[in-house]
């Protein structure tokens, strides 16, 4: 079973459920031609989708268009249910860098039919994660630069200050639906600039003060 290590501590967490929020940055909603939702759009990836630094993304044969989405990832350190917004930050043990890989062609087809997106989001290797740093090391998680390059070319360059639903709101909202447990991971949505990746590409996602994550496409 994969675990998440908190850099600089002895803490290690078996990866639980990966809760994701979609459409959380206005410019990204615009680029996909989506409507801004009133409530957060939520989906889940299984722990088996995770790969780490230096590992390879394998695009499933049923897709011709896999997109990168660089995102700030939260590591939950405490169990919690129905957590008020003012207490929500206390559940976060650490922060990391995630790439929410999305089979855009498959997702578009499912969306059109009103069907769930799981096979466009939860496939093996579809959730690269970096090491995590302790929450105490990140002064203002709501003001972090997020960048992603493909083969050295900048594709995404955003900031967590541009989130529609703030981190504390996301954790509180998620905890009203799912019991949060240590080892759960929350992906907080992607800024603009998403785009396709192909075999041989080298992706580097980087969040200031948190870390970076390099993976390649088989």
Question: Which residues sit at the interface with Zn ion, rule CB under 5 A?
Answer: 69, 100, 190
Quote the least distance from Cβ 33 to Zn ion, whole Å: 16
Quote the least distance from Cβ 79 to Zn ion, whole Å: 25
3-state secondary structure the chain: CCEEEEECCCCEEECCCEEEEECCEHHHHHHCCCCCCCCCEEEEECHHHEECCCCEECCCCCCCCEEECEEEEEEECCCECCCCHHHHHHHEEEEEEEECCEEHHHHHHHHHHCCCCHHHHCCCCCEEECCEEEHHHCCCCCCCEEEEEECCEEEEEEEHHHECCCHHHHHHHHHHHCCECCCCEEECCCCCCCEEECCCCEEEEEECCCEEEEEEEC
Of the pair 6, 185, the CB lying nearest Zn ion is at 185
Quote the least distance from Cβ 102 to Zn ion, whole Å: 7
Quote the least distance from Cβ 9 to Zn ion, whole Å: 27
């Amino acid at each position: 079973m994969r675990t998440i290590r908190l850099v600089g501590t002895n803490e290690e967490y078996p990866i639980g459920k990966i809760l994701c929020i979609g459409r959380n940055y206005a410019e990204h909603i615009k680029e996909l031609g989506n409507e801004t939702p009133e409530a957060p759009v939520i989906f889940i990836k299984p722990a088996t989708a995770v790969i780490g630094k230096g590992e390879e993304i394998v695009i499933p044969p049923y897709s011709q268009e896999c997109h990168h989405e660089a995102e700030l990832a939260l590591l939950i350190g405490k169990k919690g249910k129905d957590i008020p917004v003012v207490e929500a930050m206390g559940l976060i043990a650490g922060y990391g860098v995630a790439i929410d890989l999305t089979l855009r062609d498959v997702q578009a087809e499912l969306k059109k039919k009103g069907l769930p997106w799981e096979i466009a989001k939860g496939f093996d290797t579809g959730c690269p994660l970096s090491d995590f740093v302790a929450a105490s090391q990140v002064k203002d998680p709501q003001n972090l630069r997020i960048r992603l390059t493909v083969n050295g070319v900048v594709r995404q360059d955003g900031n967590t200050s541009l989130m529609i639903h703030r981190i504390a709101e996301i954790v509180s909202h998620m905890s009203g639906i799912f019991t949060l447990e240590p080892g759960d991971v929350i992906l907080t949505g992607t800024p603009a600039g998403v785009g396709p990746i192909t075999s041989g590409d080298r992706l580097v996602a980087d969040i200031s003060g948190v870390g970076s994550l390099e993976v390649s496409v088989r």
